[in-house]
Homo-oligomer: A and B are copies of this chain.
């Protein structure tokens, strides 16, 4: 007999069935015992009256992997109106010890560090598993939106000869006796691939040796990167990003306030909204977390939007490949997208002329040599282009209301955590 899933039970009433999954919970009443079976689709109720089978059910602990054969019968009082009677239970994988915390309660009682120490077990809990399902859906929504827009998926090196973003927060690696680094982003490679496919994306790990332990930083996270050529300026990039976000949120089925167009404010306007003290001289070059919260509240209040673009960040805090705003010296065509008051996406238009790269590196006092194979791309005819990078874990955390990205990451890596 073919195994069926819990969700297929209502279609099998009156028939013999075979289920498999984990013993989620047992309720041992006087005249009857209930075994709640958990499979990848949900829960089913198994009713045990036979004394021999009952003895077996009493012997198997929660989280035992079992197979149950029996008969599906209608019972309006049971979940989904169906339960399994006259069961036979076969143990497929017995636990060596009981779980250190209960998985059948609505909330995981264990602290986050305990959950993370026992990740392969805590992830079985509905709240943790559901967050990871949302994560998979969001990544699928990212890809399908971009596939529909003619983007091509690429896979780029994670071991690089020089750090991509800056010298800081980079992991060193012994590469056949030579020094190398873990890529902090696929930035250079996705730009290089614009010359090949015009429009590319990558879903992959990036690595940051974050010295601080916060609820929004990880040493490894999944970056959803896209880059597109033949743009007018950063606004074409923002239009694609808006579609992508809509596709990602839609794929999860979770609610978020998204007007037809996301509001966008210039950096200088954002400072005013946030009421941030603007130095009369150079002024602040970035938004503080409190500023981002204030701008997020403004966007929801004034535009009914959980998302808001902040455009035109000052040159000082953006990477050297950022395209300046031709109309406003000192400012750039770089933007951030805030989601519920937290920076979720960084993007913008990039430089595309060889001489501009040479000048930009010189202006920062940086040598050209470490960037040689990247900058070579721009010697051979590159169109105006731009792109963005979305942190998957941060997106899912904001969307699900998790306060720490570790709650929505299967096996997080940080300064102190290298296992499991």
7 tightest A-B CB contacts, nearest first: A373-B420, A120-B192, A65-B383, A63-B381, A120-B377, A40-B198, A96-B379
The answer on a CB contact under 8 Å between B373 and A205 is no
The answer on a CB contact under 8 Å between A420 and B192 is yes
The answer on a CB contact under 8 Å between A205 and B377 is no
Restricting to A165-215, which residues have a CB under 8 Å from any CB of B? 171-176, 178, 180, 182, 189, 192-193, 195-199, 203-205, 207, 209
Contacts of A92 in B (CB 8 A): 230, 352, 383-384
Contacts of A205 in B (CB 8 A): 155, 158, 204-205
Beyond the given A65-B382, A158-B158, A158-B205, please list 20 additional residue pairs across the A-B interface where CB-CB is below 8 A: A20-B230, A63-B381, A93-B384, A120-B376, A121-B377, A123-B196, A124-B196, A129-B197, A139-B155, A140-B147, A159-B219, A159-B418, A161-B418, A161-B419, A171-B174, A171-B175, A176-B415, A178-B418, A204-B205, A205-B205
Can you identify 27 A-B contacts, CB atoms within 8 angstroms? A3-B230, A40-B198, A40-B199, A61-B381, A92-B383, A93-B352, A93-B378, A94-B353, A96-B355, A120-B195, A121-B376, A123-B192, A132-B197, A136-B152, A136-B154, A139-B153, A139-B155, A140-B143, A157-B411, A159-B418, A160-B419, A171-B174, A172-B174, A173-B174, A176-B415, A189-B410, A373-B419
The docked-state distance in angstroms from the alpha carbon of A415 to that of B178 is: 10
Chain A contributes a number of interface residues (CB within 8 A of B) equal to 96
The answer on a CB contact under 8 Å between B383 and A20 is yes
- Let me know if A95 is at the binding interface, CB within 8 A: yes
Residue of A21, A94, A147 ringed by the most chain B CB atoms within 10 A:
A94
The docked-state distance in angstroms from the alpha carbon of A192 to that of B67 is: 20
Contacts of A94 in B (CB 8 A): 353, 381
The docked-state distance in angstroms from the alpha carbon of A416 to that of B63 is: 49
How far does the Cβ of A351 sit from chain B's closest Cβ, in whole Å?
Answer: 10
Copies in the complex: 2
Name A's B-contacting residues (CB within 8 A): 3, 20-23, 39-40, 61, 63-65, 67, 92-97, 99, 118-121, 123-124, 129, 132-133, 135-136, 139-140, 143, 147, 150, 152-161, 171-176, 178, 180, 182, 189, 192-193, 195-199, 203-205, 207, 209, 219-220, 222, 229-230, 352-355, 372-374, 376-384, 392, 410-411, 413, 415, 418-420
The docked-state distance in angstroms from the alpha carbon of A67 to that of B383 is: 10
The answer on a CB contact under 8 Å between A120 and B383 is no
Q: What residue in chain B is nearest A221 (Cβ atoms)?
A: B155
Contacts of A174 in B (CB 8 A): 171-173
Identify which of B124, B173, B377, B378 contacts A171 (C-beta below 8 A): B173
The docked-state distance in angstroms from the alpha carbon of A174 to that of B176 is: 14
Contacts of A413 in B (CB 8 A): 157, 159
The answer on a CB contact under 8 Å between A420 and B95 is no
Contacts of A376 in B (CB 8 A): 118, 120-121, 420
The docked-state distance in angstroms from the alpha carbon of A132 to that of B153 is: 9
The answer on a CB contact under 8 Å between A195 and B132 is no
Identify which of B3, B171, B192, B410 contacts A119 (C-beta below 8 A): B192
How far does the Cβ of A348 sit from chain B's closest Cβ, in whole Å?
Answer: 17
Contacts of A383 in B (CB 8 A): 20, 65, 92-93
The docked-state distance in angstroms from the alpha carbon of A394 to that of B255 is: 42
The docked-state distance in angstroms from the alpha carbon of A229 to that of B392 is: 27
Identify which of B40, B121, B133, B355 contacts A380 (C-beta below 8 A): B121
How far does the Cβ of A353 sit from chain B's closest Cβ, in whole Å?
Answer: 7
Q: What residue in chain B is nearest A374 (Cβ atoms)?
A: B420
The docked-state distance in angstroms from the alpha carbon of A411 to that of B164 is: 15
Contacts of A373 in B (CB 8 A): 119-120, 419-420
Contacts of A384 in B (CB 8 A): 92-93
How far does the Cβ of A180 sit from chain B's closest Cβ, in whole Å?
Answer: 6
Q: What residue in chain B is nearest A39 (Cβ atoms)?
A: B198
Q: What residue in chain B is nearest A173 (Cβ atoms)?
A: B173
